[in-house]
Amino acid sequence: MIEAMAVLFIFSLIAVTFYSVFTIGTKHIIESKNTLAAISLATEKMEIVRSLGYGQIGIKDNGYIEGDILETEDLILDGRNFFVFSSVTYVDDSRDGTEDGSPDDYNPADYKRVTIKVAWENDIDTRRAVSLVSDFAPPGVEEIVGGGTLVVKVLNRSSVGISQMTVHIKNSGLGIDENFLTDSGGGISLPGIPADDNDYEISVSKSGYFPIETFPAYPVSNFSPAYVHASVTEGNKNIYSITTDQSSNLSLKTEDCFGNSISNLSFNLKGGMKKGDTINLPDNPSVPIYYYDQNLNSGTNGRNEIADLSYGNYIFSFTDTESSYEFVKVSPFNELLNDRTKFAMESGSSSEIKAVFADKNINSLLVTVQDKTTSAPIKNASVKLQNLSLPSPYDVTLTTDEYGLAYFPNNLPELVAESYSLTIEAEGYASATDNATVNKYTKKEINLELN
């Protein structure tokens, strides 16, 4: 039996190894065939462009440079679906000066650049694709096309450009509705785009990144947007910068002070990147408006899985005064925010945050220890709760957390509804004593004076 099991194990190991090699090899062969087919299709499309006259090189219907090239096509080659994405832009070549440069080029639309991307996924920013780029010069002297130049730069939080970001440009009044991909520096440049005031809608997106869009200025929007629709002025370079970063995932758990999940709690969560601000009025001060602002419910398992959030600070709000629970804090503590209701999300992260609640229906005591002068919470303070006259004498000492909180009891059973003595000590502060009568959920605030 042992020999048979050893032989079976070795055979299984060899079989699994060969299967893995075969699977990986097959995958690479399929990808190679797709790549070769895509190169062939891209080459064919570029040759068709080469046969067009200079005035015909542009995007049909929705391009800012009008022409006969389709922006997107779905084609079948050898039984496989391929997706063709085409774009045409003007190039401001530095060899005759650049717009606003030295020397200044007063006609920056020097020639056209055609980019054809053939993918086997219907996504313009997919990596499963090949791209061909070719420049086309006008016959004779360069064209005088007028308009201005729109430069869009997409940066991350560290002000580093994000490459291969899809930039969608739309201007309904001018019939422009086109996608572009940012270069290695995170930018696109569109010389010769028609001049227009605050009518260029811009949105940026990329798989794994938080999408950002522009909005009309107030009062068309009923708030003051962080990013207003772009303007293009005649003969000028118009630079528009947008900041975003990798999106994040949040696992938000609602639990009681003993770590037990609480189901079916309704609450609000808002924060992250700002969409804008409300209008500042004398009786209504301006407040932020966030991309994320949702009323949620903790469901049957006391947990919410929230995907594709932006980086930034988030605010947890619980206002259900009829609930049998009262909100206490979010955990873990964030030293920079130092707020029971707030937590931070980093870009590209997966975080677990706990919203901790106290049950109003059990005998318990929440002690808050803070500085008498500044009202700042005092962490690591010693809080002793005593009642030695009970049938089972109670004498427990806890240490306050970063919020200056100590919750009794630290585990079940609940406290006896009685009067207790408190002794509080903290380094650098004069000790204090007090009494607390516990009846259901009870709160006590202790203010300590410096020595």
98 and 156 in a common domain: yes
- Segment 416-436 shows an average pLDDT of 97
99 and 234 in a common domain: yes
Kindly report, residue by residue over 325-354, the tens digit of the pLDDT. 999 999 999 999 999 999 999 999 999 999
d(CA 106, CA 46): 30
**Can you give the pLDDT at residue 205?**
97
Contact status, residue 116 vs residue 46, Cβ threshold 8 Å: yes
Q: What is the dihedral of CA 320, 321, 326, 329, to 10 degrees?
A: 60
Kindly report, residue by residue over 51-60, the tens digit of the pLDDT. 999 999 999 9
Q: Within a domain: residue 8?
A: no
**Can you give the pLDDT at residue 142?**
67
> Looking at 237-302, which runs of residues are DSSP E strands?
237-243, 248-256, 266-277, 288-297
What are the structure tokens assigned to 42, written together? 């891209």
- Whether 150 shows a pLDDT value over 80: the answer reads yes
257 and 128 in a common domain: no
281 and 157 in a common domain: no
160 and 37 in a common domain: yes
Q: Within a domain: residue 18?
A: no
Q: Within a domain: residue 97?
A: yes
Q: Which of 341, 330, 338, 337 has the alpha carbon at shortest distance from 375? A: 338
Between 30 and 167, whose confidence is greater? 167
Between 222 and 107, whose confidence is greater? 222
Burial class (CB within 10 angstroms; exposed 0-12, middle 13-18, buried 19+) of 143: middle
Contact status, residue 34 vs residue 128, Cβ threshold 8 Å: yes
142 and 67 in a common domain: yes
d(CA 199, CA 158): 29
Residues in the chain: 451
Q: Which of 189, 194, 196, 192 has the alpha carbon at shortest distance from 108? A: 192
Contact status, residue 346 vs residue 246, Cβ threshold 8 Å: no
272 and 140 in a common domain: no
154 and 54 in a common domain: yes
Q: Which residues of 72-87 are buried (b: 16+ CB within 10 A; e: fewer)?
A: eeeeeeeeeebbbbbb
Q: Within a domain: residue 371?
A: yes
Q: Within a domain: residue 22?
A: no
- Whether 29 shows a pLDDT value over 70: the answer reads yes
342 and 377 in a common domain: no
Q: How confident is the model at residue 22 (pLDDT cuts 50, 70, 90)?
A: low
Q: Within a domain: residue 132?
A: yes
Task: Find the range with the poorest average confidence among 36-40, 152-156, 271-275.
Answer: 36-40
Q: How confident is the model at residue 19 (pLDDT cuts 50, 70, 90)?
A: low
352 and 300 in a common domain: yes
**Can you give the pLDDT at residue 184?**
93
DSSP 3-state assignment of 385?
strand
190 and 124 in a common domain: yes
Q: Within a domain: residue 109?
A: yes
In sequence order, what are the residues at sequence separation of 6 or more whose Cβ sits closer than 8 angstroms to the Cβ of residue 264?
Answer: 297, 298, 299, 300
Q: How confident is the model at residue 98 (pLDDT cuts 50, 70, 90)?
A: confident
**Can you give the pLDDT at residue 422?**
98
Per the structure, the complete domain to which residue 304 belongs is given by: 248-359
Residue type, 185: G
Question: Could you tell me the maximum CA-CA distance found in the chain, to the nearest angstrom?
Answer: 104
What are the structure tokens assigned to 273, written together? 């990147």
194 and 59 in a common domain: yes
- Given 359, 394, 420, the domain boundary residue is 359
Kindly report the CATH number assigned to the domain that includes residue 421: 2.60.40.10
- Given 296, 326, 359, the domain boundary residue is 359
In sequence order, what are the residues at sequence separation of 6 or more whose Cβ sits closer than 8 angstroms to the Cβ of residue 322?
Answer: none
Kindly report the CATH number assigned to the domain that includes residue 113: 2.60.40.1120
- Segment 394-422 shows an average pLDDT of 97
What are the structure tokens assigned to 185, written together? 């520096």
- Whether 416 shows a pLDDT value over 70: the answer reads yes
- Whether 141 shows a pLDDT value over 70: the answer reads no
d(CA 215, CA 206): 19
Q: Within a domain: residue 287?
A: yes
**Can you give the pLDDT at residue 78?**
80
- Whether 146 shows a pLDDT value over 70: the answer reads yes
DSSP 3-state assignment of 182?
coil
- Whether 252 shows a pLDDT value over 80: the answer reads yes
Contact status, residue 189 vs residue 160, Cβ threshold 8 Å: no
Q: Which of 360, 379, 361 has the alpha carbon at shortest distance from 370? A: 379
Contact status, residue 441 vs residue 326, Cβ threshold 8 Å: yes
- Given 359, 379, 408, the domain boundary residue is 359
Q: Please count the structural domains in the chain.
A: 3
Kindly report, residue by residue over 120-139, the tens digit of the pLDDT. 999 888 888 999 999 999 88
Task: Find the range with the poorest average confidence among 20-29, 277-286, 335-344.
Answer: 20-29
**Quick one: which H or E segment has residue 435?**
strand 432-437
What is the pTM assigned to this prediction? Answer: 0.85
**Can you give the pLDDT at residue 186?**
96
User: 317 - beta bridge partners?
Assistant: 268
**Can you give the pLDDT at residue 14?**
77
- Whether 220 shows a pLDDT value over 70: the answer reads yes
**Can you give the pLDDT at residue 421?**
97
- Whether 16 shows a pLDDT value over 80: the answer reads no
